[in-house]
Amino acid sequence: MAHKDTASKLKNWTPDPDITQAELEEMRVEVLDRIIVARVGLLLRHPFFGNMATRLKILAADEWLPTAAVDGRNLYFNTQFFNAMDNKEVEFVVAHEILHMVFDHLGRRDDRDPMLYNIAADYIVNNLLMRDRIGTKPKIVDCFQDFKYEGWTSEEVYDELHKTAKANGQEYLNQLGEMLDEHLENEEGKGGQDGDSEGKDGNGNNVSHSKPKYSEEEMKQIKDEIKESMLSAAQAAGAGNVPGAVARLIKELTEPKMNWRELLRQQIQSTIRDDYTFSRPSRKGQMSGVILPGMDYAQTIDLAVAIDMSGSIGEVQGADFLGEVQGIMDEYPDYNIKVWCFDTKVYNEQDFTADCGEELIDYELMGGGGTDFMANWTYMKETDYVPKKLIMFTDGYAWDSWGDADYCETVFVIHSHHDKALQAPFGVTAHYDEAA
């Protein structure tokens, strides 16, 4: 969980410890109605979120949950917490839970600090909801939201928070804000919940449900169910009614998958100059009795390779990048390849041709500082160099700008990024696959 004592930390709301069971059950009926109303509101105004919400069972969880949570099948709520919000605020919280599902924030956390990563994920989700005006941010909590993280990934926000927390200590985190929800951990146990979609038991009573426990196999199944729900919800919502970040994920799910090396090969092939020659007459011309020039497909490729060697790049990734450059050289009989590496500036620029390609084995990778993709474009502009195509090998963690979209054709080959749906804002994006 993110905050074990979330309820005690909420700034503007605390549960009533003296509420009776009968009062709680009566309030639960009203809250269930309010969540259903909010779900309808989302269907009308934000149909993607509304369609996703209709696929979730609504279950009370007062014994273990101070706010809200989602596990991919069920939306869990604390009765008193939801009762303290109006319908538009409930819409915000429901959409908040849906985005955590869509972005697979729990699955992407890996071995990062749970609390810090959960905060980072909340920044991403809340920024999107605020930007697209989905519901109203609850007033009962001072939740994590800052537009300075606009366009960042949760991993990038985490790195920033981790760096700042190391410098300033726990007090820094205490000042940031509050969690709107609980981020459920994977726990082994019997999955599933009893009761109907409105959180009632077999006798129609409004009950509070236990904390979910799912096996690894069940979690994989739930992830597949979420993907299916995303596709169905997007189709039902129609074009233009799906947030951009979500639409990119869906595009990744629906597009036919191409081996990344084949994609790169196609991009490199496009730099080869085609010309006409009489040494290879046109077959159509021969058939008509007229000698016409045919196409001469020159096999000289001409491109630039930029290798990201910022601090987030490890030795293995660097070796992989050089290996791919060597692979390009091995595939083509003639080439002009300008290679450099970068972090916040460009290092060790070298030209390689077929006559000196073996010298790549001695190429020194340099860098290790911060990340500034624009350093590559600054270098090219200062040296008046415009490549036919720029191939950038990177881990995809752009600190600020991805570069100048209008300067040259660019292919981003992204290695080891947690978000396999990440797409650069321009050019062509391919994700490095070790199995390719």
Token couple for 44? 């009308």
CB 239 within 8 A of CB 245: no
323 and 407 both lie in a single domain: yes
Residue 206's pLDDT is: 59
| Number of domains the chain contains | 2
Tell how strand 428-431 and strand 410-414 pair up.
Answer: parallel
- Asked if residue 272 is part of any domain, the answer here is yes
85 and 27 both lie in a single domain: yes
Q: Is 50 exceeded by the pLDDT of residue 308?
A: yes
Residue 3's pLDDT is: 32
Q: Report the alpha-carbon distance of residue 142 to residue 280 in Å, rounded.
A: 73
12 and 142 both lie in a single domain: yes
Q: Is 50 exceeded by the pLDDT of residue 379?
A: yes
Domain assignment of residue 327, given as a range: 260-431
Q: Report the alpha-carbon distance of residue 227 to residue 249 in Å, rounded.
A: 10
- Asked if residue 52 is part of any domain, the answer here is yes
- Asked if residue 436 is part of any domain, the answer here is no
Q: Taking residues 105-131, what's their average pLDDT?
A: 88
265 and 239 both lie in a single domain: no
223 and 296 both lie in a single domain: no
Whose tokens are 């190429």? That residue is 363
Percent of the chain with pLDDT over 70: 81
pLDDT of 387-409, one tens digit each? 989 999 999 988 789 999 999 99
CB 339 within 8 A of CB 350: yes
Whose tokens are 């981020």? That residue is 183
Token couple for 231? 């596709």
Domain stop point among 254, 287, 322: 254
123 and 165 both lie in a single domain: yes
CA neighbours closer than 13 Å in the CB half-sphere of residue 112: 26
Q: Taking residues 132-150, what's their average pLDDT?
A: 89
Q: Taking residues 234-254, what's their average pLDDT?
A: 81
Q: Is 50 exceeded by the pLDDT of residue 7?
A: no
CB 143 within 8 A of CB 180: yes
Starting at the edge strand that comes first in sequence, how are the strands of the sheet with 74-77 ordered?
A: 57-60, 74-77, 68-70
161 and 296 both lie in a single domain: no
The partner residues of 346 in beta bridges, in order of sequence, read 342
Q: Is 50 exceeded by the pLDDT of residue 81?
A: yes
Residue 187's pLDDT is: 56
- Asked if residue 412 is part of any domain, the answer here is yes
Token couple for 15? 């549960």
158 and 47 both lie in a single domain: yes
* Three-state helix/strand/coil letters over the chain: CCCCCHHHHCCCCCCCCCCCHHHHHHHHHHHHHHHHHHHHHHHHHCHHHHHHHHCCEEEECCCCCCCEEECCCEEEECHHHHHCCCHHHHHHHHHHHHHHHHCCHHHHCCCCCHHHHHHHHHHHHHHHHHHCCCCCCCCCCCECCCHHHCCCCHHHHHHHHHHHHHHHCHHHHHCCCECCCCCCCCCCCCCCCCCCCCCECCCCCECECCCCCCCHHHHHHHHHHHHHHHHHHHHHHCCCCCCHHHHHHHHHHHCCCCCHHHHHHHHHHCCCCEEEEEEEECHHHHHCCCCCEEEEECCEEEEEEEEECCCCCCHHHHHHHHHHHHHHHHHCCEEEEEEEEECCCEEEEEEEECCCHHHHHHCCCCCCCCCCCHHHHHHHHHCCCCCCCEEEEECCCCCCCCCCCCCCCEEEEECCCCCCCCCCCCCEEEECCCCC
Give the domain CATH number at 380.
3.40.50.410
pTM for the structure as a whole? 0.58
The partner residues of 351 in beta bridges, in order of sequence, read 338
Buried b (16+ CB within 10 A) or exposed e, 120-149: bbbbbbbbbbbeeebbbbbebbbbbbeeeb
- Asked if residue 423 is part of any domain, the answer here is yes
pLDDT of 91-102, one tens digit each? 999 999 999 999
pLDDT of 280-303, one tens digit each? 444 434 444 544 444 344 567 889
221 and 272 both lie in a single domain: no
Tell how strand 74-77 and strand 68-70 pair up.
Answer: antiparallel
Judging by beta carbons within 10 Å of its beta carbon (0-12, 13-18, 19+), is residue 45 exposed, middle or buried?
Answer: middle
Label residue 48 by pLDDT band (50, 70, 90). very high
Instruction: For residue 114, give every residue at least 6 positions away whose Cβ sits within 8 Å of its Cβ, in sequence order, or none.
Output: 1, 2, 183, 185
The amino acid sitting at 327 is G
125 and 44 both lie in a single domain: yes
Average pLDDT, the chain: 81
Q: Which of 153-157, 190-194, 320-324 has the lowest mean pLDDT?
A: 190-194
Label residue 4 by pLDDT band (50, 70, 90). very low
Max Cα distance, the chain (Å): 100
- Asked if residue 55 is part of any domain, the answer here is yes
Q: Which of 69-73, 82-86, 220-224 has the lowest mean pLDDT?
A: 220-224
Percent of the chain with pLDDT over 90: 38
Q: Is 70 exceeded by the pLDDT of residue 312?
A: yes
